[in-house]
Structure 1
Amino acid sequence: MPTTLLMGVVGSTAYGLATTSSDEDRLGVYLADTADILGLRAPAVMTGSRVGTSPDVTMHELYKFATLALKGNPTVSELLWLDDYVVATEGGLSLVGIREAFLSTRNVRSAYGGYAVQQSRKLLSRHEAGKGGFSSDVARRTAKHGRHCMRLLRQARGLLTTGQLKIDMSDQRDELFAAGELAARDPRAFAELFEKEFAAMDAVESVLPDQPDLARVEAVVVELRMAALRDEATPR
């Protein structure tokens, strides 16, 4: 049976940006059964995810989690920077212990900045398509969309500057919510603000390495697989 290595509360709750309508999102990484990894279904098993509801939970297999984190995927990477966890095994904490090894300047700029740019453009196109007026629900979702675009840029700037990913953004809550309201009210003004924030992020002199430490990550992934194999081979 797959083993959960690490699980924590992510999303708006972790960012300190939750509202009364926010759900609690959980993210985790699990280790697939060794027999499945060694069998013919290995590619599908290793690139798999499991999704549940009540609460919303997304779990990635170790291989998928590691490869996404190495690419700088913001949603996946944040799991390694939480203050506490719902589940934290020794194996899971070994991933937390090498979290800096997943980082690189190019991938952080590309993943965080690229995703934020993509989403900000969607906001503008949505506004152009709905000039007749938005419903209150669409406006609410647009505001949420806008503040998270801005959050990504702020987190990326901090990560490039310090080498540490700041999860709790509650000290910037008012600014981020104001940016979200601007996105809903005046997307073009939001686009101008976004460009300034993006330029500030892009101008940062990064303290991160040019490439992630692939060898260090791989060593931990292999050790987790080997430990599972040794455990399964031990008589009960």
Structure 2
Amino acid sequence: MRASGERRPPVHVLLSGIVGSTAYGLAHAGSDIDRLGLFAAPTVDFHGLHRPSESHVTTAPDRTLHEAGKWCRLALSCNPTASELVWLPDELYEVRTPLGDELIAVRRSFLSARAVRNSYLGYATQQFRKLSTRDPDDPVSRVRSAKHARHLVRLVEQGLALHETGEVAVRLADPERVRALGERYAARPADAAALLATAEERFDRPGVLPEAPDERPAEAWLRRVRAVHLEAAA
């Protein structure tokens, strides 16, 4: 039997915003609006037999919320999707609390060279594998291939920018170029191999990020979250 608290929807959302294609500048008329956020579970919920749910996902609307502790672990691994939450343009935030602002202020402490390379280049390589197994002559498959290819290009460009500048550039500088490359790679998947090879070479060069993240700001922030939310939700 699961504790009733695990089924309770999150009520203490600390930070939330619009992510995905809208944030990247790749949205079109039929694009879904994706939302990502983080919430604080009541601290007392961690003291019983059953831990609270760490993620809540809905499809109407499309929204993913991670519990504060889980989000910190994802961000310390430089997960591209989770990390972008604290690097969004200001106008894309829909919930922004003081604790959310504190997290944005320490966002650089989550970054590390190895994790950025592993996550961004790793996810880009996954997109390449998906791209390579689809039939470019099938119209339905071609649409999906173009999406995989756009993600591949985006992940490579964002990862390299992060490696070389220490900044997460959520909004792409040239979305039309990314769309064009997506169509090209969807038609000729093998062409994307050169992009990945170049990315590996650039990741091999020294960047600006430390070898390991500084976990102290995340630990201090999370302890403040737990102290603020010590009592169970009414």
TM-score (norm 2): 0.89
Matched, 1:20 2:29: yes
Cα deviation for residue 6 of structure 1 reads 0.4
Cα RMSD, aligned residues only: 1.8
Matched, 1:163 2:166: yes
Once the two structures are superposed, what CA deviation does each residue of 1:79-121 show, in whole Å capped at 9, x if it has no partner?
0101221000111111111100110000000000111112212
Once the two structures are superposed, what CA deviation does each residue of 1:187-221 show, in whole Å capped at 9, x if it has no partner?
1123233433x235424421111101112211110
Partner of 1:205: 206
Q: Which amino acid aligns with 1:158?
A: A
Q: Which amino acid aligns with 2:217?
A: R
Partner of 2:57: 51
2 CA distance for matches of 1:113 and 1:201?
11
Partner of 2:72: 66
Q: Do the aligned partners of 1:154 and 1:201 also contact (CA within 8 Å) in 2?
A: no
Q: Do the aligned partners of 1:124 and 1:191 also contact (CA within 8 Å) in 2?
A: no
- Give the number of the structure with larger relative contact order, counting CA–CA contacts within 8 Å between residues 6 or more apart: 2
1 CA distance for matches of 2:16 and 2:140?
31
Partner of 2:184: 182
1 CA distance for matches of 2:78 and 2:178?
22
Partner of 1:95: 103
Structure 1 unaligned residues grouped into runs of 5+? none
1 CA distance for matches of 2:148 and 2:203?
21
Shift of the 200–19 alpha-carbon distance from structure 1 to 2, 3 Å rule, reads farther
1 CA distance for matches of 2:22 and 2:81?
13
2 CA distance for matches of 1:6 and 1:109?
26
1 CA distance for matches of 2:166 and 2:227?
30
Once the two structures are superposed, what CA deviation does each residue of 1:36-88 show, in whole Å capped at 9, x if it has no partner?
1222112xx26x21011232000001111110110010000000101221000
Q: Which amino acid aligns with 1:122?
A: K
Q: Do the aligned partners of 1:5 and 1:28 also contact (CA within 8 Å) in 2?
A: yes
Structure with bigger helix share is 1
**Runs of 4+ residues over 2 Å off in structure 1:** 190-196
Aligned match for 1:30, one of 20, 28, 39 = 39
Partner of 2:4: none
1 CA distance for matches of 2:20 and 2:149?
15
Q: Which amino acid aligns with 1:60?
A: H
**Identical residues among aligned pairs (%):** 43
Shift of the 5–50 alpha-carbon distance from structure 1 to 2, 3 Å rule, reads same
TM-score (norm 1): 0.88
SS of aligned partner of 2:229: helix
Aligned match for 2:197, one of 195, 207, 216 = 195
Q: Do the aligned partners of 1:157 and 1:204 also contact (CA within 8 Å) in 2?
A: no
Cα deviation for residue 122 of structure 1 reads 2.0
Q: Which amino acid aligns with 2:55?
A: S
